[in-house]
Structure 1
């Protein structure tokens, strides 16, 4: 591919010359032609979504005689395992616990923000997914700070080592008090224990700092993939570590094949053997669950495993069935991994990874997220930790080779579940082969009776508003709980990220626009069992929950946010929930308001987005504060 000119805003190529190295810029230029292909793939997504709404059409399995787009692989061959999968490298053979979180903090100097990396690599997790997506704030230059901190840590910069030594002492102090023992004996050796993994942003997001030669915002997936791999592959290989990525939000095998072509193009550009870069795929989209083997095949020889996250997946089911008035989710708390469509989703994933390829190779299944944090009252922590361990035990029994935790303090609480079993993984565990019947398709959208009540609606609203506010403050991962439980240490905060904010708005949108009937009476509002969730009821709850946040202490809601990002979060949530056409992504409305604290300007941008979506069928995904010369938005 020929080099392509790029535009980087505000002289960031000089401020972040250690990230935008000449080698990285050359690689970005080489991969820039993929930008238009990604934009076309995202237009196809919106078209499929609109057609499902127009035709009242459910997602279906692919025609087995078709070829997977961008490949020479027939769908039936993929389902039969007739492809060459990847071997699992040694440092991914045992991944009992993977932690997740960003490598930086908002508005923090390097010596402070890089502590995130130290906590991760000293946690005792088998792997740590440093997040460039749902949990990474995007205000100012956080995406670049994330890349810088990872490079400093992977290259063992003296600053990082100084911070790591300090953090190790603090972690041992906590461990002695909570676990009754230290968890780190040799902090320098401990840094080598955890496999470094990076989650790039999905195909649906644009980078905020780079535009291509046509002035089009560069797909964030290209930027994240290229900067991380180019800046770190040598140091990782010299340390005997694999180059590993998590790929999020893939909806189809065709999109997986596009990712595969980008991975191969980068490997060729850097002179790496094909398959050097290994990838897990987060199964976060309903459509992907109909194409699991096809996605595996399309990503060969890079693919090593699937992950079953909860929150994004729930949202994707809600979104895919937005047109279906009979599909209405219950309270979010009821939608566990054993609930209806979630149970079927998990089962298909474990059957897919345990289908052998033509060489007898299997793939890994990494279980879902544990959002609890052991901070609260003695009783509250004990109850939450017991729940966390029970959830891990269930996943281990079901066949997962490990799971995720959202906080380093959870590693030594949950990891013993797999440690006691002692098996490195569950590759090749026997499950029934995948089938592709109408009953299978129906199971993937199966609802079951569960509560739908005012308490649930309040929780949905409160956390969604708080999440939008946290996002605007640069914290895409935040410890949150409903406002009614502020000050109650028996109810623990949960680590919430972009997906958990979005699903709450999705469910409220369903309840309102599909006229959901509530299952429980509520004396405070006068609601009776069987009453419809109306717009007037929604507006009342919004006012009440918003007022609780305004009255909250600075511990739960920053005082400075109450006149800046919190009102904007309310405007976004209100627009989303009241919109007749369900917006495709909550994050779009949040992203176009990053670094903006003016409510009037936010409302202008929100209106612009909704008008563009409704009139032109297009999303606004670019950074509105970084415009090519002469362009007015």
Structure 2
């Protein structure tokens, strides 16, 4: 028996014995001590957040003469590149397009669920980030289905190959109708083209199925990392593939240092050399933007690149400045990657990756997400694809070595932007060295004039409600659009994940609690330019948008959800927006209601969360339905 035992709920160890293998369980037990350390770091996060809110302090750059906690590195040395970084491996040299999405479907048999992996690996994407976090539903045992499907695909199990052959036929059929030619010539060979990448859940989330010896929920990061790497590293290496992860929601270099130690400990246990596991980091948090070189240095030989996401980053800025009555985001549509603080954030990322380490190694910059899906009217698709290509061209010209797409159909539409440029990557492209002035700091929260109007509020509410509903149904990635555009084929559905629901509620929280002034008149509500966005106005719009969802066709809002998860989604959205204290994570309220269809239970759990956060400054992140069976063995 390990000195650091873990427990797995119900009979999942038996049902998923191909995921909870002896080797994986042994590694989990060895890494269990990191659970307490992660929880301590998350407490520090909350303490920093609370202090800034109370003192009304903005985030600042680190003291250059200080040491990065968890490392022996001086901050100034990290900024100067005086550290050992990673050499970019062969299968990461060209990552023009990375697709993103989960490897599983909710409540689906394996033959249907695993189709997600087949679409991904046959898409022609240079890499595919199989998501264990924002786009992966967590109802039931989806996180384990995700791991199972990836293992079957990576090991080329016959069950996966049978599905892949059929999916290839269907994908070619679509390609011939839309692109005018097939995209897959040899499906079996095509499966080898795409680099497999896995996104673990962030340090702020708990696993729903495992607790440590003290009965404390295991950090999801430990579980995701261990199950994916232990179950697949040998097959990946045998195929000549790198072991690559995306690490989300890192806020500080100290957190990156803990990740580095966690990765190194797993490598040591598996007898792998340090740095074998490579990681991209998603720059999704404002605080991380102040510590980019420090994070690179802390991850050392594991780090290969940054990704510039959009939605999570916007929310992090809003959250960090919740205390500042003058900071109010405009309509979400206005906050593009060229908007104020987003433009400055992206610029710092590209300058950080093209600062060499002491061995002359640069890092990769993977651009942001393209959420469009080419399904709709001919005019709507044409307009949206033109916009998507223009966005990709802007990022390529700015120095990105590639970007993300949220749907496999977008791969061959966007990939030619980089293919035509003809360079495998833009490593080492010359940009000015990063500076750390007051003007640099101010730029990372820079607002610019943009609309704040009723149409924007309706869009924010409609999509946020739909997202909360989709989450409850097990779809953390869902094709959505505002209810007023249901049936309008000129307005395309966009692939949305957790972050997009969160930022919509976050902006509405700002508008309400900071007294946003409307920039345009609205005939339907009788509001005028200059009117304040009030609680009465919010409630009126909320009721109207909710009614539209109740009356929507089953295609847009599942009829079954209208009496189950949709009312809960409304309750969560209302609690989030009305809360006097800005709730740090929308996903917390959703997670504590996973697999719950009872509105009264949801109200109790939401009230408990809000009270706990308000009174104790603590989040509830564990699975409230965790049960262990009497026959379960402690590992």
TM (norm. structure 2) is 0.99
Q: Which residue of 2 aligns with 1:218?
A: 218
Q: For 2:50 and 2:171, locate their aligned partners in 1 and report how far apart those are by CA, in whole Å.
A: 50
- 1:298: how far off? 0.1
5+ residue gaps, structure 1, are none
Q: Which residue of 2 aligns with 1:8?
A: 8
Q: For 1:380 and 1:132, locate their aligned partners in 2 and report how far apart those are by CA, in whole Å.
A: 32
Q: For 2:222 and 2:483, locate their aligned partners in 1 and report how far apart those are by CA, in whole Å.
A: 39
- 1:4: how far off? 1.2
Written as runs of structure 1 = structure 2, the 5 A alignment for 1:65-104 is 65-104=65-104
8 Å Cα contact 2:469/2:566 also seen in 1: yes
Written as runs of structure 1 = structure 2, the 5 A alignment for 1:8-407 is 8-407=8-407
Q: For 1:48 and 1:141, locate their aligned partners in 2 and report how far apart those are by CA, in whole Å.
A: 34
Q: Deviations over 1:266-324 (max 9, x none)?
A: 00011111000000000000000000000000001100000000000000000000000
Q: Which residue of 2 aligns with 1:510?
A: 510
Tell me, what secondary structure is at the counterpart of 1:367? Answer: strand
Tell me, what secondary structure is at the counterpart of 1:375? Answer: coil
- 1:3: how far off? 4.0
Tell me, what secondary structure is at the counterpart of 1:350? Answer: helix
8 Å Cα contact 2:10/2:629 also seen in 1: no
Q: Deviations over 1:182-216 (max 9, x none)?
A: 00000011000000000000000000000000000
Q: Which residue of 2 aligns with 1:545?
A: 545
8 Å Cα contact 1:134/1:476 also seen in 2: yes
Tell me, what secondary structure is at the counterpart of 2:10? Answer: helix
Q: For 1:9 and 1:225, locate their aligned partners in 2 and report how far apart those are by CA, in whole Å.
A: 19
Tell me, what secondary structure is at the counterpart of 1:479? Answer: strand
Q: For 1:565 and 1:66, locate their aligned partners in 2 and report how far apart those are by CA, in whole Å.
A: 49
Question: How many residue pairs align between the two structures?
Answer: 630
Q: For 2:66 and 2:35, locate their aligned partners in 1 and report how far apart those are by CA, in whole Å.
A: 26
8 Å Cα contact 1:134/1:497 also seen in 2: yes
8 Å Cα contact 1:3/1:26 also seen in 2: no
- 1:245: how far off? 0.1
Tell me, what secondary structure is at the counterpart of 2:301? Answer: coil
Q: Deviations over 1:462-486 (max 9, x none)?
A: 0000000000000000000000000
- 1:103: how far off? 0.2
Q: For 2:629 and 2:439, locate their aligned partners in 1 and report how far apart those are by CA, in whole Å.
A: 55
8 Å Cα contact 2:101/2:406 also seen in 1: yes
5+ residue gaps, structure 2, are 631-635
Q: Deviations over 1:123-144 (max 9, x none)?
A: 0000000000000000000000
Q: Which residue of 1 aligns with 2:449?
A: 449
8 Å Cα contact 2:9/2:628 also seen in 1: no
8 Å Cα contact 2:9/2:629 also seen in 1: no
- 1:11: how far off? 1.1
Q: For 1:147 and 1:68, locate their aligned partners in 2 and report how far apart those are by CA, in whole Å.
A: 34
Q: For 2:201 and 2:389, locate their aligned partners in 1 and report how far apart those are by CA, in whole Å.
A: 30
Q: For 1:38 and 1:552, locate their aligned partners in 2 and report how far apart those are by CA, in whole Å.
A: 43
- 1:627: how far off? 5.1
Q: For 2:476 and 2:379, locate their aligned partners in 1 and report how far apart those are by CA, in whole Å.
A: 29
Tell me, what secondary structure is at the counterpart of 1:10? Answer: coil
Tell me, what secondary structure is at the counterpart of 1:518? Answer: coil
Q: Deviations over 1:64-92 (max 9, x none)?
A: 01111100000000000000100000000
8 Å Cα contact 1:252/1:295 also seen in 2: yes
Q: Deviations over 1:166-185 (max 9, x none)?
A: 00000000000000000000
Q: Which residue of 2 aligns with 1:499?
A: 499
Q: For 1:428 and 1:232, locate their aligned partners in 2 and report how far apart those are by CA, in whole Å.
A: 32
- 1:628: how far off? 7.1
8 Å Cα contact 1:355/1:362 also seen in 2: yes
Written as runs of structure 1 = structure 2, the 5 A alignment for 1:444-593 is 444-593=444-593
Q: For 2:149 and 2:95, locate their aligned partners in 1 and report how far apart those are by CA, in whole Å.
A: 23
- 1:226: how far off? 0.2
Written as runs of structure 1 = structure 2, the 5 A alignment for 1:402-417 is 402-417=402-417
> Does structure 1 residue 599 correspond to structure 2 residue 599?
yes
- 1:2: how far off? 6.2
Q: For 1:130 and 1:627, locate their aligned partners in 2 and report how far apart those are by CA, in whole Å.
A: 28
Q: For 1:70 and 1:628, locate their aligned partners in 2 and report how far apart those are by CA, in whole Å.
A: 35
- 1:629: how far off? 9.8
8 Å Cα contact 1:576/1:583 also seen in 2: yes
Q: For 1:173 and 1:506, locate their aligned partners in 2 and report how far apart those are by CA, in whole Å.
A: 41
Q: Deviations over 1:514-540 (max 9, x none)?
A: 000010000110110010000000000
Q: For 2:613 and 2:84, locate their aligned partners in 1 and report how far apart those are by CA, in whole Å.
A: 41
- Where has structure 1 moved over 6 Å in runs of 4 or more? none
Q: Deviations over 1:418-439 (max 9, x none)?
A: 0001100000000010000000
8 Å Cα contact 2:11/2:629 also seen in 1: no
8 Å Cα contact 1:565/1:597 also seen in 2: yes
Q: Deviations over 1:84-105 (max 9, x none)?
A: 1000000000000000000000
8 Å Cα contact 1:215/1:628 also seen in 2: no
Tell me, what secondary structure is at the counterpart of 1:487? Answer: coil
Q: For 1:434 and 1:417, locate their aligned partners in 2 and report how far apart those are by CA, in whole Å.
A: 28
- RMSD over aligned Cα atoms: 1.0
